[in-house]
Structure 1
Amino acid sequence: MPAAGSPLLLVVDDEPSNVEVLCDLLEALDYRTVGAGSGEAALAAAGERRPDLVLLDVMMPGMDGYEVCRRLRADPRTAGIPVVFVTALSGNDDKVKGIEAGGDDFLTKPFSRPVLVARIRSLLRMKEAQERLAESYRRLKALEELKDDLTRMVVHDLKSPLTGILGSLELVLDGDAGPLAPEQRRLLDDARERGVDVLRMADNLLDLSRLEESSVRLQPRDLDVARLLREVAGEWHVRAEREGVRLAVEGPAGVGVRADEGMLRRVLANLIGNAVRHGGPGVAVRVSAVPAEGGVKVSVADTGRGVPETEHEAIFRKYGRADAGGTSSGLGLTFCKLAVEAHGGRIWVQSRAGEGAIFHFVLPPRPPEPATASASA
């Protein structure tokens, strides 16, 4: 008598004697068995009993084995059950049909008992490994979602006191608390800028989650990209001078695109900010926009330390960072990638270590419909 926890095998054949012989053989090997004499009965037994493996005859009246296998694969409850065709058919065309129907193996009658047993054991081991892998993935996914939820909660809670700190710094810098010595003003200016950097990173993280979940929508409007470049670059002009970075904007007026302005500003601010913060004294940063493919191509080039070619994909991944130069905070470039892709565009980097970097992104004339995301919502 097979043990209660041993694998359950479904034997399907329209000849009762064939079912009986196979079941006796398998039970002697400590497998539990259940028999079915037709395709319809096989589908019902598979849905109810969820066997670990199916031994399936092909030539049956009504629904043949190929159709049974196709229906097993189409049902999420039974899609992962290994199927072995056991049949008198031996032609290559028959085997091809079995593979196309979703079968995992094909045994021709009369079959060798050791071969049958070896293939059953192999498929059961593979099924067990796949189930362990799927369970590990589910647990990892749950942990990842928990981590993201906790991170969003912490970041959201930190934004309120951080905003208060920045407001207090603004009041002091405006002279509301009395005159400041030059060195005091320099230190407070630096503290404010670092605080703004942290606030941007917090916004990036929160918006990343929304973009990943596609839970917000684009709010597109017609934009003059050259004007937008000048405005965003202007916001970094003082910081660039303080860091010893030469910042220039190029591009003809009238380069237009239909896009979410708030999101596009954030993309530009991330790219320009990375170049200014990580470039170092003497680095030149050039921002440009040109018509391309009916839309617009924007480039942010710098003469800094560059990005090794092996890191070109990693820096766009969440928490990714180039080994040489610390190009990304690990969030900004991921936000840029998701934001550009939400518009139906693409973003990439041209760079080698020690030779500077050029970040390009291309936007189509208008975002795809239906629109899916917005950082400004």
Structure 2
Amino acid sequence: MTQPAAGAPLLLVVDDEPANVDVLCDLLQALDYRTVGAAGGEAALAIARERRPDLVLLDVMMPGLDGYEVCRRLRADPDTAGIPVVFVTALSGPDDRVKGIEAGGDDFLTKPFSRPVLVARIRSLLRLKEAQDRLADSYRRLRELEELKDDLTRMVVHDLKSPLSGILGSLEMVLDGDAGPLAPAQVRLLRDAQERGGDVLRMVDNLLDLSRLEESAVRLQPRELDVGRLLREVAGDWNVRAEREGARLAVEGPAGVGVRADEGMLRRVLANLIGNALRHGGPGVAVRVSAVRADDGVKVSVADNGRGVPEAEHEAIFRKYGRVQADGASSGLGLTFCKLAVEAHGGRIWVQSRPGEGAIFHFVLPPRPPEPAASPA
């Protein structure tokens, strides 16, 4: 008999009767498949882990581990979970087939079986496994490329932060009069450049912190905060810009609404939501920031009367580089950072909006953030 090619699919034949193993192996080798036999469940599991066959032909009624248990263990092991399993057994009742399906089997053949049917089912399952393997390999390469892209992005962004901080520092010195008096028009232009530079710096910080949040490498530094005071302070940082752009910014934060949270991170969340409303709300947008006590903590809302967000995009805008199809506007990284930062506090964030009716971004923080998990040594 001609030996199968070295790269031919490897099939594992499992049966406690050696004669049955030999018959199946001879048949499959004649069809140019490589084969390996196992006389019981334990031997089958050991061979499957060691040699990773492309398909398993498995008897059910065996001493020790029966075929159902062998299949369940194959499925439970990540290294063998994707191997197709065909039960080849004398059992033929409907309950036996149900047990085989529940155990994770891909097919069920009753002895004596039709050779053409067996061969057709083997070929079909091998084609399916080959397609799944290609898909898994493509996904693995895609993940590797994604990780490489993220690593390169972090390196570039980290290197950008230092010269950008220098530019902003120089602009501040010029605006403070260190280089001499400035005409009003010059002050306006430099103020605009300073604000745009601040936007870029926030984007840089968002990307760096987003990477750390995705890797759970950020440790919160929570303390007791007056939410109303925090809303007014963050909104105050945006008042001049809002007025210059013809927007209105109002705060409704009652005193005494407290929460235990990381102040720096919470300020960033509020700044991102307010900035997002001013940028995407359209000319003359009105933005209202509010906070109320809720059953599960404190609820903060940032509402605008701008263009709104299509309902189909309500989840996409919180994804990294999410894009609103209606107007092509990208949410960039700000909303992704907000989502991860709020969730790091044990809270949740969502949007209520329809096109042309404005948008309200809500997030709820519990009274206290969850305790951080112990860091591995």
TM-score, normalisation: structure 2: 0.95
Q: Which of 19, 34, 37 is 1:35 aligned to?
A: 37
Deviations 1:122-145 (A, max 9, x none): 111111111111111110000000
In structure 2, stretches of 5+ residues that fail to align are: none
Tell me the residue number matched to 1:22.
24
Residue 27 (structure 1) shift: 1.0
What is residue 117 of structure 2 aligned with on the other side? 115
Matches within 5 A, 1:272-283: 272-283=274-285
Instruction: Report the residue type matching 1:3 in the other structure.
Output: A
Equivalent runs, 1:261-300 vs 2, <5 Å? 261-300=263-302
Counterpart-to-counterpart distance in 2, 1:360 and 1:325? 22
Q: Secondary structure at the match of 1:54?
A: strand
Task: Say yes or no: does 1:52 pair with 2:51.
Answer: no
Q: In the aligned structure 1, how far is the partner of 2:216 from the partner of 2:138? A: 26
Q: Partner letter of residue 148 of structure 2?
A: L
Select 2:313's aligned residue among 311, 324, 327. Answer: 311
Give CA deviations for 1:194-226 in whole Å, capped at 9, x if unaligned. Answer: 000000001001111001110111111111111
Deviation string for 1:29-52 (max 9, x for gaps)? Answer: 111111111112212222222211
**Cα distance between partner residues in 1 of 2:66 and 2:282:** 72
Query: In structure 2, the residue corresponding to 1:60 is in which secondary structure?
Result: coil
Tell me the CA shift for residue 369 of structure 1: 2.5
> Which range moves more in the overlay, 72-81 or 220-229?
72-81
More displaced stretch, 347-356 vs 134-143: 347-356
Q: Which residue number in structure 1 is paired with residue 188 of structure 2? A: 186
- Cα separation, 2, equivalents of 1:212 and 1:98: 40
Q: Distance in 1 between matches of 2:293 and 2:246?
A: 31
Paired residues of 2:212 and 2:218 also in contact (CA < 8 A) = yes
Q: What SS does the corresponding residue of 1:247 show, helix, strand or coil?
A: strand
Contact 2:175 2:187 survives alignment (8 Å): yes
- Aligned ranges for residues 212-291 of structure 1 at < 5 Å? 212-291=214-293
**SS of residue matched to 2:371:** coil
Query: Over residues 49-82 of structure 1, what are the superposed CA-to-partner deviations in whole Å (9 max), with x where a residue is unaligned?
Result: 2211110111112221112212222223222211
Distance of aligned partners of 1:277 and 1:62 in 2 relative to their CA distance in 1, 3 Å threshold? closer
Whether 1:71 aligns to 2:73 is yes
Which amino acid in 2 is paired with 1:310? A
Q: Does 1:165 align with 2:167?
A: yes
Farther-moved stretch of structure 1 (73-82 vs 211-220): 73-82
Do the aligned residues in 2 keep the contact of 1:201 with 1:331 (CA within 8 Å)? yes
- What is the aligned length? 373
Identity percentage over the alignment? Answer: 88
What is residue 5 of structure 2 aligned with on the other side?
3
| Letter of the 1:318 counterpart | K
Per-residue CA deviations over 1:338-377 (Å, capped at 9, x if unaligned) read: 111111111111111111111111111111233699xxxx
SS at match of 1:129: helix
Map 1:84-95; keep pairs closer than 5 Å: 84-95=86-97
Gaps of 5+ in 1: none
- Report the aligned-residue RMSD: 1.6
Displacement after TM superposition at 1:107 (Å):
0.7
Q: How far 1:326 sits from its partner (Å)? A: 6.3
* 1:138-169 superposed Cα distances (whole Å, 9 cap, x missing partner): 10000000000000100110111110010010
Residue of structure 1 equivalent to 2:354: 352
Cα–Cα, structure 1 residues 372 and 263, in superposed 2: closer, same or farther, change >3 Å? farther
Using the TM superposition, give the Cα deviation of residue 243 of structure 1 relative to its aligned residue in structure 2, in angstroms: 0.9
Q: Is the 8 A contact 2:86 2:106 kept in 1?
A: yes
The answer (yes or no) to whether the contact 1:243–1:280 under 8 Å persists in 2 is no
Q: Deviations over 1:243-267 (max 9, x none)?
A: 1111100032111111111111100
Within the alignment, does 1:124 sit opposite 2:123 as a pair? no
Is the counterpart of residue 151 in structure 1 residue 149 in structure 2? no
SS in 2 for 1:236: helix
